[in-house]
Structure 1
Amino acid sequence: MLVPFLIMLREGIEAALIVGIVASYLKQTGRGEWMPAVWVGVLLAVALSLFVGAALQLVSAQFPQKAQEFFEAIVGLIAVIVLSSMVFWMRKAARSIKSELHTHIDEALAHTSGQATALIAMVFFAVAREGLESVFFLLAIFQQSPSSEAPLGAVLGILVSIALGYGIYFGGVRMNLRRFFFWTGLFILVVAAGILAGTLRHFHEAGVWNSLQTVVIDLSEILPVSSPLGTILSGMFGYQDMPTLGEVIVYFSFLAISLYFFLRPYVSAAANAPATKPSN
């Protein structure tokens, strides 16, 4: 429950920040009459995300066992790619997202016709990215932890993010967003490592991957995955009581590489650019 809650909280706050920046800029520049177009873009993005999620779930239910394992492996792989790119994108874009959105709004409303369509498209693509990221993540998590608590955690995360987004927009809630995105980014990378190890397991069960299947350690007597704590660890971090060599290698390799790039100091392109000599 905690994993889908935190991920949906983060995704929801990202989407809320985008909508909040757009709404604030329209209000500050005296263009508040365009807000209905913003909400149309948001609703279309939500509808697309729900449709894609439902379609993928329905399609996967029709597959035979091995095909379903392969499908779950592909979904898990996409989820890892999407989650990782989301973490690194926000780390890079957080410093300039406000100015970029302002520029896109000005460009959308600069034309003499089609302003509403351009504004709807801008908001739609920005919010749909967050929604589709959430879809693939939730599918991977629901496959890893099929209990009813996972959907409940996702719904609670969305509701809390909406409330926080509303409070941030109207100035009643103060959050250190930089710290929030840092710690949730770390958490997401650990979760993604577990999903990636589970993806390798699904590929093996689908008959696609059969190498490195030696069991590294047997914890089934100490901490079985079916125990309450084992279930929690499995749902949060992809814990297995009998991990294979391939799963251990994939897990720690991904974690080492991703954490190295995430924790190293960020240097912008502007900082790397050579200084120009002043003209005489």
Structure 2
Amino acid sequence: MSVLAAASGAPSIATQLAGSGLIGLREGLEAGIVVMILVAFLVKSERRDAVKWVWLGVGVAVAMVAATFLVIHFGTSTLDGLAAEIAAGIASLVAVVIVTAMVLWMRKAARSISGDLKSGMEKALIVGPSAVLALAFFAVGREGLETALLMVGYAENTAGSAWPLIGLLLGIALAAVLTVLMYLGAVRIDMARFFKFTGAFLVVVAAGILAYGVRALQTGGLLPGAGNLAFDVSGHYDAGSWYGTVLGGILNVRPDPTVLQFGAWLIYLVIVLFLFLRPVTSAEPAPVADESAVV
């Protein structure tokens, strides 16, 4: 278990469920929309025989994502002391880099993703079942890998609790239900607004994971300035209060950040939120307002 996580205490159950649940809902809907587009295309093309290969590819991708999460998470949790801090810090930084790249990529690719998937499926059907399986595997695996890495960083601050995983699974289950309802036409969601708000949330979560990673590497001795605090409001900060559990459990905010930790958090948040929220130009495709309308 992380020294930093143990020192700050595990967030409340409700906070752990809410944070990881929203991550699961966001990432589950992204993956669900991908599967919905592929299945709808096959049904409309009268190629229902190929649907089973899509589901097989999805199953393999889910297994790969679960294995990735378990290997990284349990690999870091078996370490003790400074080695645990260094491993957790490196894992957190890697997660932040990949999650940031994927969030910014989705902002640009949202409109064209449906056409790209349909075009890819047309070619895969010509090649055969293995190509259909591979297309589904890589399309869903890309979203799942983002989820696994984000959850590794998020789970580092929960003192070994299983509640983040439960929250993630509940969020994914809700996403699956919403995806089916969207496919059946029973529910229509403003996907552009949904992914804008949840994408901004993921950026804020990633900023907290970055801050955690920097502090862990400082504790492990790989980064300097572990004793150089930017400020310390511990005397006025109640970690057990509602705001303490929210800020600490979801956003990884500490009352006593180091200068390097706080600087990394602030610079990342300003730059990445600017890149994510800046107005979309005509040369840059805008997210679709309702992904269910394109299937």
2:63 is matched with 47
Q: Are 1:135 and 2:151 an aligned pair?
A: no
The farther-off stretch of 156-165 and 139-148 is 139-148
1:152-163 equivalent positions in 2, closer than 5 A? 152-163=166-177
**How far apart in 2 are the matches of 1:257 and 1:61?**
32
Give 1:75 shift: 1.3
Residue of structure 1 aligned with 2:82, choices 46, 66, 74: 66
- CA distances 1:233-271 after superposition (whole Å, capped 9, x unpaired): 111111101111111111110111111111212235479
Task: Give the letter for the 2:26 counterpart.
Answer: R
1:202 is matched with 216
**How far apart in 1 are the matches of 2:209 and 2:282?**
30
The farther-off stretch of 142-151 and 178-187 is 142-151
**How far apart in 2 are the matches of 1:59 and 1:237?**
24
Residue of structure 1 aligned with 2:230, choices 201, 206, 216: 216
Confirm or deny: 8 A CA contact 1:42 1:127 kept in the other structure.
yes
The higher relative CO (CA closer than 8 Å, separation ≥ 6) is in: 2
Give 1:226 shift: 4.9
- CA distances 1:62-94 after superposition (whole Å, capped 9, x unpaired): 323211111111111122112212221111111
* % identity of equivalent residues: 35
1:190 is matched with 204
Task: Give the letter for the 2:138 counterpart.
Answer: F
Please say which structure displays the higher CA radius of gyration.
1
- CA distances 1:156-195 after superposition (whole Å, capped 9, x unpaired): 1111011111111111111000000000011111111111
| Unpaired stretches in structure 2, ≥5 consecutive residues | 1-16, 286-295
2:98 is matched with 82
Q: Output the TM-score relative to the length of structure 2.
A: 0.86
Task: Give the letter for the 1:82 counterpart.
Answer: I
- CA distances 1:13-35 after superposition (whole Å, capped 9, x unpaired): 00000000000000111111110
Q: Output the TM-score relative to the length of structure 1.
A: 0.91
Confirm or deny: 8 A CA contact 2:215 2:226 kept in the other structure.
no
| Unpaired stretches in structure 1, ≥5 consecutive residues | 272-280
**How far apart in 2 are the matches of 1:62 and 1:7?**
25
1:230 is matched with 244
**How far apart in 2 are the matches of 1:123 and 1:97?**
13
Residue of structure 2 aligned with 1:17, choices 12, 21, 33: 33
2:268 is matched with 254
Confirm or deny: 8 A CA contact 1:213 1:245 kept in the other structure.
no
Aligned length: 268
**Poorly superposed stretches of 4+, deviation over 4 Å:** 268-271
1:26-45 equivalent positions in 2, closer than 5 A? 26-45=42-61
1:173 is matched with 187
The farther-off stretch of 132-141 and 222-231 is 222-231
**How far apart in 2 are the matches of 1:241 and 1:107?**
54
